[in-house]
Structure 1
Amino acid sequence: MRCKFIAIGDVHADFERLWEALRAASCIDAAGMPTMPVLSGLYQVVLIGDLVHPKTEAEYARLIGSDAFDSSDPEQLFLAAREQVKRLERLYAYQRAAPRSVHIILGNHDDAVLHTDYLLGTVGGLSHIEFDASRGGVMLPEHLRAWFQSSLRELRVGGLHFAHVGPLPAMTSYDDLFYADHVHKRWWQDTPEYVQMAGIEFGVYGHTQMKDGIMINRTNGFAMIDALHTREYLEVLVDTGSVEEPLSVRPVPF
């Protein structure tokens, strides 16, 4: 029997596009719940992490319905948090309806909501502090914090591997070393052989935005899928009797 994995890259609060991708993949019904292929396990949905924190000020502004966004304004921080919470609640319900078929990987931005010691931002000066009460934001609701804490650090299915950053175990720990070491953004270019060294037949990773869409390195056996902005998700078809390596891997536009 064949099974299909639908892997979607870093969301960064672009939930509307996430729902569009799931709808295009026949993974969500009109009520926002999993379809029968997902409920039966025939389709496996994998979100590769970073559910929260829009990437730019313009995306924050769009999220809160404003012309601009100022991360030093407590009212705008509250609105940014509230709008993300509303969308997270919908995803929470979706995942709880099919917990064996909908897998959510913990990204470093999601982890930063739980552990606010790390202040994340952009080179342009944007700070992601809407869920940091010590910096003017608000706490993520407790049930959503518990949900984040229960997220996977990685998912292995036979020879398939899904993780937020890359193939090495150290890449799943978002600590001081993680933020100090640039290898986490560059390994896929500089040392793509890490995948084969880790004994992985095919890996699926996010974290580093692919400006031109999903990148598949067939020689070294991995895909970089932080490409939701280009309206693509990854489809991985496997034989459930032998999932040592996928039957096919392809980016799917929606």
Structure 2
Amino acid sequence: MIKVTVIGDLHAEFPRLWRALRGAYLAGEDFLPSEPVQQGRFRVVLMGDLMHPKTLEHYQRLTGLDDFDPTDPTHLRMAAKAQIREMYRIKRYQEAAPEHVTILLGNHDHAAATGNFVLGNAYLEHHEFHPEHGGISMPEDLKAWLLSFPTEINLYGVNFSHVGPVPWLQSYDEMFYNGREAKEWWQHNPDYVSRMGYRFGVYGHTVMKEGIQIFDQLALIDAFDQDQYLVLYLDDDHFEVQIAHVQPLPIQ
């Protein structure tokens, strides 16, 4: 049996990531995989969307700028450099145990690496990796690393993917962004999971404001900013899933 720790959409919550990994004995103080991860007894799956903080407040925390302005090129460069530094740390962690640490390709990873789309919402656009908007280019080795991420993995019949279990939910093209299915498929077609032959599925992408949701066929886990992640215990005959919590910072 293996223990699989699955962390939802990161969105530059780097300190929270390391608290989770260390608290679950998945990483040491050196930011490298623990012995159980190295041996494959524990596995780690990050659901993607490593970069692009979700809110202006998160950008402020990332950069240390109380007046962070998403249109100011100086501020954008600070945000980009802070994310690049932390992504190199995650890269070092993943490459130290590549068979047991998997990072899935999220649409934000794809957009930042390719420059094909500017993502955001009515309140905030992510320009830090778009030089044409005042940001900077991502280093080529980081681009290659991001684009090497798989769109899905399957462990003991459980499917893990950033958005969903079918090919059209794993291709980040204009059709993906112009439709609603990427956000709503699990409401209208949860049987995609069983129709693809999986006994269960774990997905991110859609923000779970009330925390991780576990249904009959799938779990939606984009709630890492609420200190929640998922743990599964798997083998051919066993399936167990539970919600875990990031330990709070000690009171000084």
Q: Report the TM-score when normalising by structure 1.
A: 0.94
1:93 is matched with 92
Shift of 1:79: 0.0
**Deviations along 1:80-133, whole A, 9 cap, x unmatched?**
000001111110110011111100001000000122221111222x11010111
Quote the Cα distance in structure 1 between the aligned partners of 2:210 and 2:25.
Answer: 25
**SS state of the match for residue 203, structure 1?**
strand
1:119 is matched with 118
Shift of 1:171: 0.7
Quote the Cα distance in structure 1 between the aligned partners of 2:28 and 2:156.
Answer: 29
Structure 1 residue 222 corresponds to structure 2 residue 218? yes
- Code of the residue aligned with 1:186 in structure 2: it is E
The size of the alignment, in residue pairs, is: 246
**SS state of the match for residue 89, structure 1?**
helix
Structure 1 residue 154 corresponds to structure 2 residue 152? yes
2:133 is matched with 135
Structure 1 residue 36 corresponds to structure 2 residue 32? no
- Code of the residue aligned with 2:245 in structure 1: it is P
1:7 is matched with 6
**SS state of the match for residue 155, structure 1?**
strand
Query: Which is worse superposed, 100-109 or 62-71?
Result: 62-71
Quote the Cα distance in structure 1 between the aligned partners of 2:228 and 2:234.
Answer: 20
Q: Report the TM-score when normalising by structure 2.
A: 0.95
Quote the Cα distance in structure 1 between the aligned partners of 2:166 and 2:116.
Answer: 24
Quote the Cα distance in structure 2 between the aligned partners of 1:252 and 1:158.
Answer: 21
Quote the Cα distance in structure 1 between the aligned partners of 2:67 and 2:205.
Answer: 26
1:104 is matched with 103
The 8 Å contact of residues 204 and 223 in structure 1, kept in 2 or not, is answered as: yes
The 8 Å contact of residues 58 and 68 in structure 1, kept in 2 or not, is answered as: no
- Code of the residue aligned with 1:180 in structure 2: it is N
Quote the RMSD (CA, aligned, Å): 1.1
Post-superposition, which runs of at least 4 consecutive aligned residues in structure 1 deviate over 4 A? none
Quote the Cα distance in structure 1 between the aligned partners of 2:2 and 2:231.
Answer: 10
Q: How does 1:16-95 map to 2 (within 5 A)?
A: 16-95=15-94
Which runs of 5 or more residues in structure 1 are unaligned?
none
**Deviations along 1:198-219, whole A, 9 cap, x unmatched?**
21111110000111111100x2
Correspondence for 2:245 among 228, 234, 253: 253
Quote the Cα distance in structure 2 between the aligned partners of 1:98 and 1:106.
Answer: 18
- Code of the residue aligned with 1:193 in structure 2: it is D
- Code of the residue aligned with 2:7 in structure 1: it is I
Identity rate, percent: 45
The 8 Å contact of residues 165 and 192 in structure 2, kept in 1 or not, is answered as: yes
The 8 Å contact of residues 5 and 45 in structure 1, kept in 2 or not, is answered as: yes
Shift of 1:169: 1.2
- Code of the residue aligned with 1:96 in structure 2: it is E
**SS state of the match for residue 225, structure 1?**
strand
- Code of the residue aligned with 1:199 in structure 2: it is G
